[in-house]
Amino acid sequence: SQGKWKNKKRVLIFSSRGINFRTRHLMQDLRTLMPHSKADTKMDRKDQLFVINEVCEIKNCNKCIFFEAKKKQDLYMWLSNTPQGPSAKFLVQNVHTLAELKMTGNCLRGSRPLLSFDPIFDKEPHYALLKELFIQIFGTPQYHPKSQPFVDHVFTFTVTDERIWFRNYQIIEEDASLVEIGPRFVLNLIKIFQGSFGGPTLYENPHYQSPNMHRRLIRLSVAAKFREKHHVKEVQKMKKKGSKVLVKEDPTEVVFETPAEEKPVEIQLVKPESKPIVKDKKKLRKIQRKKQKKLFKTEA
């Protein structure tokens, strides 16, 4: 392109140690979709988060996407404008990568995306701040050396159920319809900080529930069901052991009873005769035939 690259922003995309394979593929997909991104080695868990500002300065990056893994099952994403701020922390859920989705859409590698936002991003102040942060991080600068001068896909950010849903669609030239490419994930906002990876809290999500609390509530619900079943069994046992209520005799029960004649008791003094044992005639014939065959063989 003949234009001059003026907006020289670069995004550092890397993670902490302990991420799983799906997070690693998601991070690689974002690097391929964003030609203005850079990579770095994984950061040690013991290091503090403000060290990332120095890493960004060494890599000559002024934006950062950092994936933080905890307990080998929870994934957090940091979006930050280094080194001044602000920064936002999200819980990443429902991750699906490019290789996993196998969508029919396709786009040119390095092409610049359109950014589509939900109308709610212009109504509330914390969403407006996040919109500006998304524009500066996910938008490819014009005339970037690694980018292509084409616009053939759209990044959509939709707010549903107090979460931000990220989708990537291809723009088909014939009828301008959209076909999903991937990757896709859901961002659950936790906090927005004034500084980069720390500082005063500008906004805290009241609807956020930590994964530990969610797992704890599931365990408590399962335990409550078990206790309820155990209590029902104990009540049934107590009912069985309890004294039975005696019902008073009904005088009308004897009305329809007809007395039968009493038979004299007979005592048998003689032993009954044993029945003769009738042997199977066919078996006797078979035994005789076998004996005859043996005799015939011995004589021969």
* Mean pLDDT, all residues of the chain: 88
Give residue 158's Cα distance to chain centre.
Answer: 21
Asked if 144 contacts 184 with a C-beta cutoff of 8 angstroms, the reply is: no
Beta-carbon contacts of residue 65 (< 8 Å; ≥ 6 apart): 11, 12, 13, 30, 37, 77, 78, 79, 137
Coil, helix or strand at residue 115: strand
User: What are the structural domains, with CATH classification, of the chain?
Assistant: 11-212 (3.40.50.10480)
Q: What is the pLDDT along the chain (300 residues), one digit of tens a residue?
A: 467 888 889 999 999 998 999 999 999 999 999 999 999 999 988 888 889 999 999 999 999 999 999 988 899 999 999 888 899 999 999 999 988 888 888 888 889 999 999 999 999 999 999 999 999 999 999 888 888 888 889 999 999 999 999 999 999 887 888 989 989 999 999 999 999 998 999 999 999 999 999 999 999 999 999 999 999 999 988 888 776 667 788 888 878 888 777 777 787 788 777 776 656 667 777 888 888 888 877 776
